[in-house]
């Protein structure tokens, strides 16, 4: 870049929101990213740190691989400690991570190390140590003065936390209440004493649940001795809610614990996905035995085999629909528990209607095709078509019912309904679909 | 309830958070809910209104059906207008809804009607009209006094919005900045003039994207003339993010536009789900034609038909895994676009490894079974087992690759990748699976 162009660029950089600067990274090549970042860092190191925190994890992982250790340390040191820990979590090479932590200034080193020690999926792993807390005997006037003096601009202040002389959390006041209070009243007289709080080891799903249920903007985190050690803010929770949804989706797709927010090795993916395919494999083997059992029927009427895929496919798909709808409805609290019977009944009715409609279609096709094949098989095309239609109808209504019942049963047994919607239901449906089809065929065609 | 017990209950009610009172509803029968709610309303009507706003939609819909119109109107009138509109959205009977609105006091009627007029999925439908805004020439001192006087406690104040004399939005200041500012400075001198804002008709997904990208707690909503008319707060956005995830899940499950947040009629569900089953149906018919085409091979070796379900099932499941992982990764911004090739390559490798492992298993089973059947079929058990293994391996690696490529292609074409992970990929895999299997069988077994 020419000197002039760089100056121009620096002007633009200082006027653009870090989140927007981070967004432009996605359209640059890795080399361009490094040089663009150098310009940002040269303009304003704190801004560079903010841009880094806003990068998409996929881009950040790659970017961190190529940035020099020394430069990374300089940037990490101007970041809030929780962002530093989150960034270091994405340095895949553990040796390099340790080396970088060792290069940091002693104070930020200690703080970063203590944050890295928390489970990233706990309140301790999510929390920021940048909060505003005052002792309970502070007056409103003193509190306002403190607020005016406070230097850090990193996180917006939402609540004023009130602590005892031993740093234990005793109350909370909103800035609005602070502004409204008489100037010489101590905090303890107008604070709200019952503060919803979590411990450092509280699971992130529980943290998300509390923030969503009580419509909070921030939630204080305390240690074993009830001492205030950090806050979790709602913007971190948005990410948790997203990853919870991801977990449900992967369970439903039978991809188990594969964690999309990280880069996993091929071997790791193989090991996590293998067991999730096993029920499907067992189902396939069971279906195979069912078909073997009916091979005399197939021998007499080969075209029957051609309808196995459509039976399995349609039953599997309608079962997936039903279980996805019911599972998601359960996790969003859509259903009133006293009326779950109605939910299943509705799925059965919808499944039957869809089964009738597709049954007619498949019968028309089967009849037409079979008409041409009648030279070498025995049954009349009409009975054959009717058999196919009846089987499809039966398989689809059973699949819809099963797809809705199983998640509800799982929920009642306190298991995650998303697990039920995955390969388990589909496998059961595969086997039942084939069996229903062949049993009806033998019965109706007299094979 | 005895008089004494009621007094006791009222004491508990006045001490419990409305969200917790709402939560207890899920364990009560509909009749108990009505009488419990009567006690809450008798204790404190505003509290009753808050409880109503916190009820899960599934419970609220049923509850609204049974509450008297007159009582509902009384409660709706003490709610913030946006909650009133949201509650009325859940009154399923439109005639009743109009009747209730007509019974409301004229002012709240007008406000509620104007809010009901916005698309519930737009900024206008999400916004609250309870915000804190002052004219730009107001001094910091006057602003603080205003803040102290303001009566409404309904929503927590996060930002102070600054408007011109024509009510157009010109800036924003945080309470913290207000507290810090010199007392006689007018707002326009210390406000941030570039406020991120949305228009009333902005789609909720865009609103959610802005709030998440810029880590906002509230986002101002303006009309066509840039006049401030409301704010959307982050807690409403959490619901939007959840419903977006729901949409993705249902697309992936091939259940299309079925809206889990509402009660749909059987006919509505039938109509929305029918088209989503059609690709699967077409796929089934195609697979049928493939099998028909190979019926000479099946005639010679009936046991082959028994392996159709396991081929379809395993290929379908691994394809679902791959597409769910890639789709979710794409929507979370996990991937760096320059390395999407690596993503596909990884899926291919994982698919091949899983295919080899399950291929060996299925070969062992096929070999054993076939050993016993060798009285009536021609090929050697070893070749038969090898054929089954090779087919499963081929079907699974193709499925894993297809499952990862299609969502990426959809994304590149600016289509929703979640659509791709649904029935489309599965259908293609069903057909390909059957075809690969039979083609390899004919080749290896010389049928």
Q: How far is B57 from chain A (nearest CA, A)?
A: 6
Mean pLDDT of A102-109: 83
Q: How many CB atoms lie within 10 A of CB A12?
A: 11
pLDDT digits (tens, 9 = 90+) for A205-243: 889 888 888 888 889 999 999 999 999 988 888 888 887
Disruptive mutation site among B219, B344, B348, B350 for chain A (greatest number of A CBs within 10 Å): B350
DSSP B138-177: -BHHHHHHHHHH----SS---EEEEE-TT-BEEEEEEHHH
pLDDT digits (tens, 9 = 90+) for B82-136: 888 888 888 878 889 889 988 888 777 888 888 888 888 899 988 988 788 999 9
Contact A179 B274 (CB under 8 A): no
C-alpha to C-alpha distance for B382 and B366, rounded to whole angstroms? 9
Structure tokens at A430: 């595969």
Structure tokens at B393: 């391996």
Please list every residue in chain A whose beta carbon sits closer than 8 Å to the beta carbon of residue B299.
302
Helix (H, G, I), strand (E, B), or coil: what is residue B192? strand
Please list every residue in chain A whose beta carbon sits closer than 8 Å to the beta carbon of residue B312.
309, 312-313
Please list every residue in chain B whose beta carbon sits closer than 8 Å to the beta carbon of residue A30.
338
On whether the CB atoms of residues B302 and B428 are closer than 8 A, the answer is: no
Q: Measuring CA to CA, how many Å separate B172 from each of A82, B187, B190?
A: 27, 9, 9
Mean pLDDT of A128-132: 84
Running DSSP on this structure, what letter comes out for residue B423? I
Structure tokens at A363: 């019968």
Q: Judge whether residue A422 has pLDDT over 80.
A: no
Q: Nearest-CA residue of chain A relative to B29?
A: A338
CATH of B3-117, one of 3.40.50.1110, 3.40.190.90, 1.25.60.10, 1.20.1250.20: 1.25.60.10
Contact B17 A336 (CB under 8 A): no
Q: Judge whether residue B385 has pLDDT over 60.
A: yes
pLDDT of residue B257: 62
Q: Nearest-CA residue of chain B relative to A349?
A: B266
In sequence order, the 6+-apart residues with CB closer than 8 A to the CB of A281 are B310, B313, B314, B358, B361, B362
Q: Nearest-CA residue of chain B relative to A174?
A: B156
C-alpha to C-alpha distance for A112 and A116, rounded to whole angstroms? 6
On whether the CB atoms of residues B214 and B111 are closer than 8 A, the answer is: no
3-state secondary structure chain A: CCHHHHHHHHHHHHHCCHHHHHHHHHHCCHHHHHHHHHHHHHHCHHHHHHHHHHCCHHHHHHHHHHCCHHHHHHHHHHCCHHHHHHHHHCCCCHHHHHHHHHHCCHHHHHHHHHHHHCCCCEHHHHCECCCCEEECCCEHHHHHHHHHHCCCCCCCCCEEEEECCCCEEEEEEEHHHHHHCCCCCEHHHHCECCCCCEECCCEHHHHHHHHHHCCCCEEEEECCCCEEEEEEEHHHHHHHHHHHHHHHHHHHCCCCCCCCCCCCCHHHHHHHHHHHHHHHHHHHHHHHHHHHHCHHHHHHCCHHHHCHHHHHHHHHHHHHHHHHHHHHHHHCCCCCHHHHHHHHHHHHHHHHHHHHHHHHHHHHHHHHHHHHHCCCCCCCHHHHHHHHHHHHHHHHHHHHHHHHHHHHHHHHCCCCHHHHHHHHHHHHHHHHHHHHHHHHHHHHHCC
CATH fold for domain B133-245: CBS-domain (3.10.580)
Contact A325 B260 (CB under 8 A): yes
Instruction: Report the share of chain A in percent with pLDDT over 70.
Output: 91
Burial of A444 (0-12, 13-18, 19+ CB in 10 A): middle
Contact A314 B270 (CB under 8 A): no
What is the dotted CATH code of the domain comprising A133-247?
3.10.580.10
Structure tokens at A336: 């009133």
Q: Judge whether residue B420 has pLDDT over 70.
A: no
| Angle (CA) A358 A364 A366, round 5° | 100
Burial A194-208 (b: 16+ CB within 10 A, else e): ebebbebebebeebb
Q: How far is B106 from chain A (nearest CA, A)?
A: 30
On whether the CB atoms of residues B3 and B33 are closer than 8 A, the answer is: no
Contact B332 A261 (CB under 8 A): yes
pLDDT of residue B256: 64
Structure tokens at A146: 């403190």
Interface pTM (ipTM) of the complex?
A: 0.72
Contacts 24+ apart (CB under 8 A), B382-388: B383/B444, B383/B445, B384/B303, B384/B445, B386/B444, B387/B440, B387/B441, B387/B444, B387/B445, B388/B307, B388/B359, B388/B362, B388/B363
Q: Write the class of the CATH domain A266-445.
A: mainly alpha
C-alpha to C-alpha distance for B397 and B286, rounded to whole angstroms? 21
Q: Nearest-CA residue of chain B relative to A158?
A: B158
Please list every residue in chain B whose beta carbon sits closer than 8 Å to the beta carbon of residue A288.
306-307, 309-310, 365
Running DSSP on this structure, what letter comes out for residue B203? B
- Greatest alpha-carbon pair distance for chain B in Å reads 102
Q: Judge whether residue A260 has pLDDT over 80.
A: no
Contact A310 B281 (CB under 8 A): yes
Which residues on neighbouring strands pair with residue B159, listed in sequence order? B174
Please list every residue in chain A whose beta carbon sits closer than 8 Å to the beta carbon of residue B303.
292, 295
pLDDT of residue B223: 93
Q: Judge whether residue B374 has pLDDT over 60.
A: no
pLDDT of residue B376: 47
Of B259, B243, B245, B264, the closest CA to residue B126 belongs to B243
Place of tokens 């940002």: A40
C-alpha to C-alpha distance for A178 and B216, rounded to whole angstroms? 22
Contact A287 B299 (CB under 8 A): no
Contacts 24+ apart (CB under 8 A), B95-102: B96/B69, B99/B69, B100/B69, B100/B72, B100/B73, B100/B76
C-alpha to C-alpha distance for B81 and B22, rounded to whole angstroms? 20
pLDDT digits (tens, 9 = 90+) for A16-52: 888 888 888 877 888 888 889 999 988 888 889 989 9
C-alpha to C-alpha distance for A181 and A439, rounded to whole angstroms? 79
pLDDT of residue A375: 46
Please list every residue in chain B whose beta carbon sits closer than 8 Å to the beta carbon of residue A23.
213
Contact B269 A346 (CB under 8 A): yes
Q: How high does pLDDT run on average in chain A?
A: 84
Mean pLDDT of A4-24: 84
C-alpha to C-alpha distance for B286 and B291, rounded to whole angstroms? 9
Contact B283 A313 (CB under 8 A): yes
C-alpha to C-alpha distance for B311 and B392, rounded to whole angstroms? 6
Which residues on neighbouring strands pair with residue B230, listed in sequence order? B221
Structure tokens at B77: 């009138």
* Residue B156 region by backbone torsions, left for phi larger than 0, else alpha for psi between -120 and 50, else beta: beta
Contact A295 B311 (CB under 8 A): no
Mean pLDDT of B22-40: 86
Q: How many CB atoms lie within 10 A of CB B389?
A: 22
Place of tokens 């992970």: B421
C-alpha to C-alpha distance for B259 and B265, rounded to whole angstroms? 11
Of B53, B118, B126, B117, the closest CA to residue B90 belongs to B53
C-alpha to C-alpha distance for A371 and A358, rounded to whole angstroms? 20
pLDDT band at residue A263 using 50, 70 and 90 as cut-offs = low
- Outline where DSSP puts E strands in B258-398: none
Of A30, A98, A122, A19, the closest CA to residue A67 belongs to A30
pLDDT digits (tens, 9 = 90+) for B143-198: 888 877 774 554 556 788 999 999 999 999 887 788 778 889 999 998 988 899 99
- Which H/E stretch holds residue B222? strand B218-222
Residue extents of the structural domains in chain B = 3-117, 133-245, 266-445
Please list every residue in chain B whose beta carbon sits closer than 8 Å to the beta carbon of residue A56.
333-334, 336
Contact B249 A249 (CB under 8 A): yes
Helix (H, G, I), strand (E, B), or coil: what is residue B215? coil
Q: Measuring CA to CA, how many Å separate B400 from each of A262, A323, B12, B343?
A: 19, 23, 57, 11
Please list every residue in chain A whose beta carbon sits closer than 8 Å to the beta carbon of residue B248.
245, 249
C-alpha to C-alpha distance for A211 and A239, rounded to whole angstroms? 13
Q: How far is B428 from chain A (nearest CA, A)?
A: 11
Q: Judge whether residue A153 has pLDDT over 60.
A: no
Contact B281 A361 (CB under 8 A): yes
* Residue A132 region by backbone torsions, left for phi larger than 0, else alpha for psi between -120 and 50, else beta: beta
C-alpha to C-alpha distance for A406 and A373, rounded to whole angstroms? 41
Disruptive mutation site among B50, B305, B431 for chain A (greatest number of A CBs within 10 Å): B305
In sequence order, the 6+-apart residues with CB closer than 8 A to the CB of B13 are B21, B39, B40, B43, B44, B47
In sequence order, the 6+-apart residues with CB closer than 8 A to the CB of A181 are A140, A173, A190
pLDDT of residue B154: 42
Mean pLDDT of B280-290: 89
Q: Judge whether residue A377 has pLDDT over 60.
A: no
pLDDT of residue B10: 85
């Amino acid at each position: 870049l020419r000197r002039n162009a760089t100056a121009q660029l620096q002007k633009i950089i200082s006027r653009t929101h870090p989140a927007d600067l981070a967004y432009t990274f996605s359209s640059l090549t890795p080399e361009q990213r490094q040089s663009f970042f150098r310009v940002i860092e040269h303009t304003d190191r704190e801004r560079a740190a903010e841009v880094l925190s806003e990068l998409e994890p996929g881009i950040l992982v790659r970017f961190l691989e190529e940035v020099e250790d020394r430069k990374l340390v300089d940037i990490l040191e101007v970041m809030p400690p929780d962002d530093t820990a989150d960034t270091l979590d994405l340095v895949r090479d553990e040796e390099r991570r340790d080396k970088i932590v060792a290069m940091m200034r002693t104070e930020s080193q200690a703080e970063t190390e203590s944050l890295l020690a928390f489970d990233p999926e706990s309140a301790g792993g999510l929390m920021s140590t940048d909060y505003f807390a005052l002792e309970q005997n502070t007056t409103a006037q003193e509190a306002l003065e403190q607020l005016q003096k406070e230097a850090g601009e990193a996180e917006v202040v939402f609540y004023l936390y009130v602590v005892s002389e031993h740093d234990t959390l005793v109350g909370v006041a909103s800035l609005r209440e602070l502004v409204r209070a008489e100037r010489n009243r101590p905090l303890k007289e107008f604070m709200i004493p019952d503060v919803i709080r979590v411990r450092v080891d509280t699971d992130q799903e529980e943290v998300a649940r509390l923030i969503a249920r009580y419509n909070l903007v921030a939630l204080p985190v305390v240690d074993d001795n009830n001492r205030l050690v950090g806050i979790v803010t709602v913007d971190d929770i948005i990410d948790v809610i997203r990853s919870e949804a991801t977990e449900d989706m992967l369970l439903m797709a039978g991809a188990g614990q594969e964690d999309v927010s990280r880069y996993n090795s091929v071997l790791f993916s193989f090991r996590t996905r293998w067991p999730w395919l096993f029920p499907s494999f067992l189902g396939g083997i069971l279906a195979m035995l069912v078909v073997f059992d009916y091979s005399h029927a197939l021998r007499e009427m080969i075209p029957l085999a051609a309808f196995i895929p459509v039976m399995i496919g349609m039953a599997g798909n309608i079962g997936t629909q039903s279980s996805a709808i019911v599972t998601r409805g359960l996790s969003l609290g859509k259903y009133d528990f006293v009326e779950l019977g109605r939910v299943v009944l509705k799925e059965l009715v919808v499944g039957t209607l869809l089964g009738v409609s597709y049954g007619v279609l498949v019968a028309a096709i089967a009849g037409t095709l079979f008409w041409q094949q009648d030279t070498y098989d025995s049954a009349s095309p009409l009975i054959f078509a009717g058999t196919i239609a009846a089987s499809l109808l039966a398989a689809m209504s059973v699949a819809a019912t099963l797809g809705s019942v199983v998640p509800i049963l799982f929920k009642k047994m306190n298991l995650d309904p998303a697990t039920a919607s995955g390969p388990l239901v589909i496998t059961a449906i595969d086997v039942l679909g084939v069996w229903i089809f062949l049993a009806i065929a033998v019965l109706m065609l007299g094979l």
